[in-house]
Amino acid sequence: MDHRPQTQKQKPPSTVHRPSSATGFARAVFAITWKDLAAELRSRELLSAMLVFALLVIIIFNFAIELEPKLRPVITPGVLWVTFVFAGTLGLNRSMAIEKDRGCLDGLLLAPVDRSAIFFGKMIGNLIFMFVVEMIILPVYSVLYNLNLFIPGLLLVILLGSVGYVAVGTLLSSMAVQTRTRDMLLPILLFPVIVPVLLAAVKASGGFLQGLELTEIIPWLNLLAVYDVIFLAVAYMVFDYVVEE
C-alpha cells in the first residue's frame, strides 16, 4: 500500500518530454539561422556577391535584348528565373564553403542537436538571402523594362519556387562541399533536379504576367507545392546520411 502513490507519480514525465524536445529543435534551428545572418551582417560577403551577379545579369539582358512592350511579359519569366537560379547557386555554394573552410561545419555536426535542425537552419538562412536578392531585383527589373512585377500571384510563385530551389540546393550543397570540385559539382547535381520547379515557376510566372485565367495557372502552382513538400521531406530524411558521408 505504501508504494502505490509513488508509482502513480512516476507516470507524468513522459508527457512533459515532447514539448521540450520540440522547443529544443526550434531553438536549434533559430540559433543556426541567426548565426548565418549575424555572420553575413558582419562580413557582407555572400549577399554582395549574389547581388552584384544578379544585377549584372539583368543589365546584360537589358542591353542585349531590346524587347517590344508586347513581348516583355513572355520573355520576363525566363530572364527572372535564370537570374534567380544563377545568383542562388552562387550563394548556396559560398554558404556551405564558408562553413567548411572555417571548420564550423564540423562543430555543427558535433553539437548535441538533431541533424535535421542543421538542415532547416541553413535552409532558412539561404532562403532569407534569396528573398533579399529577389526583392532588390524585382524593382530594378520593373524600372529597366517598364513592367509591373509586384503582382500577388507572381510573388506567390516566387515564394514557392524559391522554397523548392533552396531546399534541394541546401541538401546538395552539403553533399558537394565535401569534394574538391565543389564549385563545379553543385551546378551539375542541382540543375537537373530543379528542372520541374523551374518549368513550373516559369509557366506560372508567365501566366500571371500575361493575364491568363487562373484555371490555366493552378496546375503549375500545384506542381510547385507538391515539389516543395516532397523535397523538404526527402531532405529531412536523408540529410543525416549525407553529412555523415
Structure-model confidence comparison of residues 80 and 69, the more confident one = 80
User: What CA–CA distance (Å, rounded) separates 75 from 177?
Assistant: 34
Burial 168-195 (b: 16+ CB within 10 A, else e): bbbbbbbbbbeeeebeebbbebbeeebe
Residue 211 confidence (pLDDT)? 87
- Is the pLDDT assigned to residue 25 strictly greater than 90? no
Residue 200 confidence (pLDDT)? 94
- Average pLDDT score over residue span 99-119: 74
Residue 67 confidence (pLDDT)? 67
At 72, is the pLDDT very low, low, confident or very high (cuts 50, 70, 90)? confident
User: What CA–CA distance (Å, rounded) separates 141 from 55?
Assistant: 9
**Backbone CA torsion sign across 81, 87, 90, 94:** negative
For the chain, give the mean pLDDT: 83
At 102, is the pLDDT very low, low, confident or very high (cuts 50, 70, 90)? low
Structure-model confidence comparison of residues 225 and 110, the more confident one = 225
User: What CA–CA distance (Å, rounded) separates 75 from 23?
Assistant: 46
Residue 213 confidence (pLDDT)? 92
Sequence-distant (≥ 6) Cβ neighbours of residue 217 within 8 angstroms: 153, 203, 204, 207, 208
> Where on the phi/psi map is residue 35: left (φ > 0), alpha (ψ -120 to 50), or beta?
alpha
Sequence-distant (≥ 6) Cβ neighbours of residue 10 within 8 angstroms: none
Q: Which of 162, 165, 171, 163 has the alpha carbon at shortest distance from 237? A: 171
Residue 134 confidence (pLDDT)? 93
Share of the chain above pLDDT 70, in %: 88
Segment holding 100, helix H or strand E:
helix 72-101
Residue 243 confidence (pLDDT)? 72
For residue range 38-54, list pLDDT tens digits in order.
888 888 878 888 999 99
For residue range 131-190, list pLDDT tens digits in order.
999 999 999 999 888 888 999 999 999 999 999 999 999 999 888 877 777 778 888 889
Sequence-distant (≥ 6) Cβ neighbours of residue 167 within 8 angstroms: 123, 228, 231, 232, 235
At 69, is the pLDDT very low, low, confident or very high (cuts 50, 70, 90)? confident
Residue 164 confidence (pLDDT)? 93
The domains of the chain are located at 25-244
